[in-house]
Structure 1
Amino acid sequence: MEMVAEQPKSACRGAEAVLNLQPTSSVSIAYHSLFGPHDDLILLELDEKLLPDVLHHRVTLRGQPDEDAVLCTMSKTYAVKFVGTSNSVLLIPPSEQLVLCGNTQDCDEKDRVEKLVAPVIKVAPGVMELVEVAPRIDRLKMLLSENPYRFDDALMSEELDEMEKNNTRLYSWSDLNDRVQASNDELRSGLQALSAVEIDGYWRIVDENYMDGILNMLLHNLVLNDWSLNGLNETEVIGVLQSDGFPCEIAQHCLQVYGSKTDDGVWKLDEKQVCVHFARAILRGGKMRMDNFMVEWMRKIPEGMQASYDMLEGEVLTDKIGIETWVYAFDVSSLPSAPAERFSMLFRERPKWEWNDLQPYIRDLSVPGLSSEGLLLKYTRRTQPTPDAEPVFSAR
């Protein structure tokens, strides 16, 4: 393949000869001496908004050998897809690889020009494209669930130090970056959603029984020391919990999980978080009659707090058995984050869902380019006997 044009010797050379080619000009093309498949060279097609991140080395490729790679910026995750092309895409090396050729012996010195040849080193069969995807955060949940932080970890600190050095089931931020296909911002959000805490350089989720223990101790000290629900002094609370045997990181974590910091710099307990915690603890034993559950729940709620069943949206489901209503735990945080797997599990739990029941279990799903309505159209079949009736969703 050759498109011949004669240009002065001072014209652009190599790849620049093609990049700066004028509309009415042409350049000769020839095989480079190192022409070959060059599988280490891959073309990546980018949206302009991603170009600064790539040029300034603010992107990483993540994935294990058995996973498809993803490209992550600081805030988003992109699947990397190969797309074949029907047209030939020629790769031309930089200008230092220019080949000058052509017979000029028959030309007068005044008219002599040299023909520029752009040397092709590879013919690319296609390009890699980036498609924004939701972070693959389920792996984070799986990794941190391998070794939750328990009472024994706090009691046997020396043995734990040795275990940390040898146990591959403990993960630092760097470890999670290597293993979880999510951007840094998405990974931080995932850790927050799991109520994970960094202890001695490793990210852990805290065992439910341990959280029961420290919350009950906090509430006990709240009464004992006449603390206000809405005015907890951080230093004082952490000091008292440490004296009761809880590590500083766990005491701080307790405040962050069950409270929030006010503008005045003090902490107040979050009514919903505390009430939901006790509901979860009660239902850990299994399904209960609704009336028995409500009596037990109200008995557990700290004085000064008001619990309502609306707090348990996305936490529990009910069954009607005869004339009785039973309640059981069904936590949205235990469900997969991938939409197909999420809907599959939901419809295994119930073949049909009313919208009010279904909505709390899908509103956290995030699929770039697909709205909540789009998710429902893709994964469910909607029926509505009358225009005024509540829609019912079943598996598609």
Structure 2
Amino acid sequence: MPVGSNLPLRSVILRYPPSTIEESEESYQLLELPPEIIKAVEASKGKDKESIFPLTIKGKPSDDAVLCTPNSTFQLRTVGISNSILVCRSPHSSSSTSTEGGEKDTLQIRDTCHEILECVAISPNLERIRTILKDSAWKGINSSTNNSLGKRKRGEKENKVKKWTRDQLSSVIQCSEEELDKGLKERNVIEVNGKMLLPPPKELKELLSIMLSLLTIHSLDPTNSTIALSQPMLEALQDDHEVDPSITKEVLTLFGELVKEDGKEEEMWKADIKRIIREIGKGLLVGVKDKKLDEFEDEWRNEVGEEWGDEIDIKLLEGEYLLSPKPLTTSTTFSSSSSLISHFPISSLPLQPSERFSDLFLTRPKWRPEEILPFLKGLTRDGDVKSRDKLVQKFVRVVKEKDGSMWWYPRRSS
């Protein structure tokens, strides 16, 4: 019940309820909603007076509770208040106390609140998706677990790994439904037979490389190799690589669009080439340590094939790698690559800002702004540059060198 509703318009008598009634043990926690949520609630009522704007509190017993709207997540934080708030209700008895001045309304004090819960907009913890699903992750092409997500074949031991539905994930991951959908897509999670399946980067890379080759083979238009019939691809992957069609179809949908032209029954796949090339690059990058950048790019180019070799761009992998200068030796030539690449995924970094910045400055004593910014994703809500800049101001010391270049150093605690 909103605070302040149904308050009388004249003076009232406040009493504590009789200690004999059971309701005297009531306890309340007051929640202060920010303007962002209030506006969303009012807008929802404006569209449909009977509609309910969902507000859900999520969190396991070991988590700090969060409040989720359909598209945002807020941390619930206890704040003490200087003036206590009395929570009052009308007594069950309809009788009122009479005085010489006439009748006055009576309210019973049900609780006294010295603190409230306030909502603070935060970035959701979506990395829990990967943590939860890694034990039941896809094993790759030509693996026995392609069939029905690990259904036992004769002679195989029972697989006791828990497989999660989307609703089960939603119940333990502290984020809104819109943020969960985005997080699942970013981590390439697919739904097969009602269960969520995580394809790891290396295994996904192998599948996508084959799909690019099949896309070229079955292309419908020589001038546009991004469109092909889906059925021949489903059959080829099932017959030659033991990939269940239910998995292949979900991957096709994740990395493109399955459509039917008017008057035709055949389903076509319109591929998202840029996203496919990015994921192949991420798969190749796993485990790489101090590899020549030009060698990595050649390997990436060969993996995607001649048709798409010109599409690769190291910027597609931002937040997944580090570049470092190649050490000078007597054999170094001006024509050789000047950089070495190493796998450094943002998913391996802590979610807490202080720990994130600490790890980053342990990795490198100083950073260029454009190099470190991709690794700050997830500390604040997407697009909230103001909050991100506040974190930078708190943990970073900006130094301008004599040559005019800007470097970020760790801010020393006072």
With normalisation by structure 2, the TM-score equals 0.76
Which residue matches 1:355?
A: 369
Which residue matches 1:381?
A: 397
Structure 2: which 5+ runs fail to align? 46-50, 262-267, 329-337
Which residue matches 1:41?
A: 28
Aligned residues: 368
Q: Secondary structure at the match of 2:106?
A: strand
Structure 1 pair 119/243, CA: closer, same or farther in 2 (3 Å)? Answer: same
CA distance in 2, matches of 1:28, 1:137: 51
Which residue matches 2:210?
A: 217
Which residue matches 2:327?
A: 322
Q: Secondary structure at the match of 1:89?
A: strand
Amino acid at match of 2:409: S
- Equivalent residue in structure 2 for 1:298, among 257, 276, 301: 301
Is the contact between residue 280 and residue 329 of structure 1 (CA under 8 Å) also seen in structure 2? no
- Equivalent residue in structure 2 for 1:64, among 60, 64, 67: 60
Amino acid at match of 2:109: V
Which residue matches 1:311?
A: 316
Structure 1 pair 185/118, CA: closer, same or farther in 2 (3 Å)? Answer: same
Compute the displacement of 1:272 (Å): 5.6
Which residue matches 1:19?
A: 7
CA distance in 1, matches of 2:111, 2:275: 62
Structure 1: which 5+ runs fail to align? 1-14, 105-111
Query: Which has the larger displacement, 178-187 or 125-134?
Result: 125-134
Is the contact between residue 214 and residue 254 of structure 1 (CA under 8 Å) also seen in structure 2? no
Amino acid at match of 1:141: R
Amino acid at match of 2:208: L
Matched, 1:32 2:21: no
Compute the displacement of 1:364 (Å): 5.5
Q: Secondary structure at the match of 1:137?
A: coil
CA distance in 2, matches of 1:343, 1:39: 45
CA distance in 1, matches of 2:90, 2:260: 58
Structure 1 pair 279/103, CA: closer, same or farther in 2 (3 Å)? Answer: closer
Runs of 4+ in structure 1 deviating by more than 6 angstroms, as ranges, are 15-18, 261-265
Which residue matches 2:105?
A: 116
Amino acid at match of 2:57: L
Q: Secondary structure at the match of 2:226?
A: coil
Q: Secondary structure at the match of 1:158?
A: coil
Which residue matches 1:196?
A: 189
Q: Secondary structure at the match of 2:404?
A: coil
Which residue matches 1:248?
A: 245
Q: Secondary structure at the match of 1:87?
A: strand
Is the contact between residue 138 and residue 336 of structure 1 (CA under 8 Å) also seen in structure 2? no
Which residue matches 2:74?
A: 78
CA distance in 2, matches of 1:16, 1:297: 63
Matched, 1:270 2:267: no
Structure 1 pair 332/127, CA: closer, same or farther in 2 (3 Å)? Answer: closer
CA distance in 1, matches of 2:397, 2:90: 56
CA distance in 2, matches of 1:254, 1:102: 75
With normalisation by structure 1, the TM-score equals 0.79
Is the contact between residue 98 and residue 117 of structure 1 (CA under 8 Å) also seen in structure 2? no
Is the contact between residue 216 and residue 225 of structure 2 (CA under 8 Å) also seen in structure 1? no
Which residue matches 2:292?
A: 289
Q: Secondary structure at the match of 1:353?
A: coil
Matches within 5 A, 1:128-277: 128-150=117-139, 151-155=143-147, 157-159=150-152, 167=160, 169-225=162-218, 229-244=225-240, 245-259=242-256, 266-271=269-274, 273-274=276-277, 277=280
Amino acid at match of 1:379: F
Compute the displacement of 1:347 (Å): 1.8
CA distance in 2, matches of 1:350, 1:36: 60
Which residue matches 1:343?
A: 357
Is the contact between residue 72 and residue 176 of structure 2 (CA under 8 Å) also seen in structure 1? yes
Compute the displacement of 1:131 (Å): 1.8
Amino acid at match of 2:33: L
Which residue matches 1:92?
A: 88
Amino acid at match of 1:49: K
Amino acid at match of 1:152: S
Compute the displacement of 1:65 (Å): 0.8
Instruction: Let me know the Cα RMSD of the aligned residues.
Output: 3.5
Is the contact between residue 16 and residue 94 of structure 1 (CA under 8 Å) also seen in structure 2? no
Is the contact between residue 36 and residue 122 of structure 1 (CA under 8 Å) also seen in structure 2? no
Is the contact between residue 281 and residue 300 of structure 2 (CA under 8 Å) also seen in structure 1? yes
Structure 1 pair 20/266, CA: closer, same or farther in 2 (3 Å)? Answer: same
